[in-house]
Chain A
Amino acid sequence: MNEEMAFRDMNFKEKLLKLRPYLILLFIPMLFTVLFGELMSPVFVQNIPIAVYDMDNTSKSRIVVDYFYDCPVFNVTENFDSYEAIEDQLLSGKISGAVIILKDFTKDLSAKSGAKAEVLIDGSNFLIGNNLQLYSSTILSTVNAGIQLNLLEAGGMVPEDAEQNVYTLNIADRALYNPQFGYFYYLFAGLLGIFVQQTILAVTPTVLINEKERLRQLPDHSREGLKLRFGSVSYKIGVFAMLNTISMLSCLLIAHKMYAYPINGTLWYVMLIHLVFLLCMFGIALALASVFDDATHCIQFVMFMAVPSFLSCGYGWPEYMMAPGFAHVIKAVWPLYYYVNPMKDLMMKGAGWEVIGHYVIGGLIFAAVWIPLGLLLFNRKLKIIKILH
């Protein structure tokens, strides 16, 4: 009975191993879409911990402090009695900023000699720092406007005129394609590119490495063996590509349905960009399969490429800001640029051919160079390992 159980267990494990590439391709991207979508689901950064050090502690200074309490962006603490204590908390990261209202605040305000306040911002985190700067400026400008109104009225200006003068110059913001500056909206196309890249490279080179090993064992000029397995390899890679495409579309659908991710482009363009990218990936997979003889080592290398390829593909750091020559090199050696950028434009802007066209053509040129190059490297490596054996 126990032996039978062990046999069944073994059988199940073997089946699972065979299914693993398909499961990785299909479900890992979906799982991470849900997790990342959930993680970035709050649109705004709120509850930023800040310190308020009110050295004046008068009714007027408390009015300013109350503004910060009322703003949902901030989580205010006031247990500080020295500048050093605030600095220490900023260094340990327990607070992200501080508002310091200097002594004689009310006195200076009454004397019209410029009541002093200071806002300290921990600039080590961009997203927090910018929110802090933006909202603290808004609060303090509002306070300033209120005081200015009083001053102008006190100077003999009628209230209506005073109000018009104080609120006369304003700025209105409008963010096209991402009105709430949602972080998930901005990041998702990039993440999707990484999902597609990592999953396809986690499975395709393995098939090619196994095939390389099989071809090594065949006698030279054995056409029968080549024909026989060429079909099987193409079939496997075709299935991988299909599952990868299904997974990509499912991720888009999940992001759209669960996290309101915009899908503005046409499905045909999505498929076109995806197909071109898969061709590019095939070229890269061939090159990797020719370099590595051990499938596990190849996968290890592939896992490495996720972060560097994402940071260098012109997604987070736009192409125009890259150092001279960098963009040319990166476009020639790694194809993620041709996927994430048009995908973002397609999804968020509903871009047409005039925007994505050059990415598609660039991707096709990449594939046209890398697939023959990959085949060449693969064949050469095959010859070498045949010599070695």
Chain B
Amino acid sequence: MKAQNNSFIVAATKYKQKHPLLVMTVLMFLIVPILSSLALGYEMKADVAVTIPTVVMDSDESSFSKSYIDYIDNSPYFNIVKYTDSYEEMKDMIYKGKAYVGVIIPENFYKDMQEGKSPKILTVYDGSTMAVIVSSKSSMMEILLTVKAGYMASVYEGKQSVVPTQVMNQVMPLDYTTRTLFNPTKSFRNFILPGLLAAIVQVAIAINGAERGWENQRRRLSFLEHLKATAEWSLIGSLSIFLTMSVQWFVFGMPYRGTVLGGILLTLLFSFSISLMGYIMGSFFDERTFCTQISSILVLPTAIFGGYTWPVLAMPTAMQYLAKAIPFTYYGEAIRSLCLKPMQLHHLLTAFIAISCFTFIELAVLYLIKHIKDKKLMKAGVMMA
């Protein structure tokens, strides 16, 4: 068995040494992105932050406070893990990560309410866990509005003698409805994964571009041949994005509602642009590892700089300009939107224009670098045929 194992590892090592390009291509464009997509899709199977561990402190213990707690208990978003009578214990549970939300109904709450003293229900959140706050805050607000509407209905019926059929119009004189479009369940997976999976493949595209640029640095190739090399590899990058996303669409049921043609074209353009960026780095710097490092440093943080999670509009002005100069800003947003929104080709116009502009600038830079560097290398006599 050991000998068999050894012979397998020897064979694998031999193969890897003989075909490093093939092995790295499969690893970077297939194995890592697809495994990441499978693993992350499975991890976030729950989609939304539900059953948030919640601790309740009901110091009122009236029928009203009990019905309020019932609303919380029946909500899919909350899971009451403990009823306590001490604020210290509540804080301790949040401190230890055993609960993320605490609800405090003060003593004499209902009595004060009837006497018009405007008592308040206090909701305590663990501010260090954003995904939980996002879900729990709006859900808690919805529960409060429902309970409040019920209470106001009783006021109108009791004190104002309004007939039951008219009550709701007076409780909600402005009858507003809120509709969350495109991601109504607030799925965290649909929000975070489309762009970040593309960001993983983006690293592979940039690194690969840098490798090819470095390999071709001292070869006597025409500009068109350089572009051909970049285009071929960017095609593989695009395929990798499609495969990675396909795992989400076909295995985990992530929607794709936008234009297919638009998605394909934009992915091809984006992949070419990122590949070119890597190629420029590989063509410019002499040291191979440094080309990889600089390309990675340029693309890795773009998932954050590009406003994928913290939106561009919330950034300071200077950072907004930086974000607008990054292709991922447009692609990340577009790929998420294509998954969630029924977009048509014309809705992608801004993304197409922005990434195209970026690509044209890259083409000019590559041309300049090749022009200058080739001359230098020819002079030094190190240019290969």
Cβ of A28 and Cβ of B9 under 8 Å apart?
no
| A321 in contact (CB, < 8 A) | yes
What residues of chain A lie closer than 8 Å to B311, measured between beta carbons? 45, 125, 127-128
Cβ contacts A152-192/B at 8 Å (1 or 0 each): 10011100110111111111111111110101011100000
What's the least CB distance linking B377 to chain A, in Å? 14
Question: Do most interface residues of chain A lie in helix, strand or loop, or is the interface mixed?
Answer: helix
| A274 in contact (CB, < 8 A) | no
Q: Quick one: closest A residue to B90, CB to CB?
A: A176
Q: Quick one: closest B residue to A39, CB to CB?
A: B319
Cβ contacts A190-228/B at 8 Å (1 or 0 each): 000000001000100010000000000000000000000
Cβ of B337 and Cβ of A124 under 8 Å apart?
yes
Cβ of B10 and Cβ of A169 under 8 Å apart?
no
Cβ of B118 and Cβ of A174 under 8 Å apart?
no
What's the least CB distance linking B71 to chain A, in Å? 12
| B56 in contact (CB, < 8 A) | no
Q: Which of B95, B152, B173, B336 contacts A124, CB < 8 Å?
A: B336
How far, in angstroms, from A355 to B263 measured CA to CA in the complex? 46
| A148 in contact (CB, < 8 A) | yes
Cβ of B178 and Cβ of A124 under 8 Å apart?
no
> Of residues 117 to 142 in A, which have CB atoms within 8 Å of B's CB atoms?
117-130, 133-134, 136-137, 140-141
Asked whether A174 and B124 contact (CB < 8 A) given A183-B130, A316-B131, the answer is yes
Q: Quick one: closest B residue to A314, CB to CB?
A: B43
What residues of chain A lie closer than 8 Å to B13, measured between beta carbons? 293, 381, 384-385, 388
Cβ of B174 and Cβ of A117 under 8 Å apart?
yes
> Of residues 113 to 152 in B, which have CB atoms within 8 Å of A's CB atoms?
113, 115-134, 137-138, 140-141, 144-145, 147-148, 151-152
Cβ contacts B84-110/A at 8 Å (1 or 0 each): 000000010011110010000000000
What residues of chain B lie closer than 8 Å to A265, measured between beta carbons? none
Residues of B whose CB lies within 8 Å of any CB of A are 6, 9-10, 13-14, 16-17, 20, 24, 27-28, 32, 36, 39-40, 42-46, 49-50, 53, 91, 94-97, 100, 113, 115-134, 137-138, 140-141, 144-145, 147-148, 151-152, 155, 159-160, 162, 166, 168-184, 186, 188, 191-192, 196, 199-200, 203-204, 207, 211, 286-290, 292-293, 296-297, 300-301, 303-305, 309-311, 313-316, 318-319, 333, 336-337, 340-344, 346-347, 349-350
Residues of A whose CB lies within 8 Å of any CB of B are 13, 17, 20, 24, 28, 32, 35-36, 38-42, 44-49, 64, 88, 90-93, 109, 112-130, 133-134, 136-137, 140-141, 143-144, 147-148, 151-152, 155-157, 160-161, 163-179, 181, 183, 185-187, 198, 202, 206, 293-297, 299-301, 303-304, 306-308, 311-312, 316-318, 320-323, 326, 330, 344-345, 348-349, 351, 354-355, 380-381, 384-385, 387-388
- Can you list 23 A-B contacts (CB < 8 A)? A46-B314, A91-B337, A91-B347, A123-B181, A126-B191, A127-B314, A137-B141, A148-B171, A164-B115, A164-B118, A168-B118, A173-B137, A176-B126, A181-B133, A183-B130, A183-B310, A293-B13, A301-B28, A303-B207, A308-B200, A312-B39, A321-B131, A381-B9
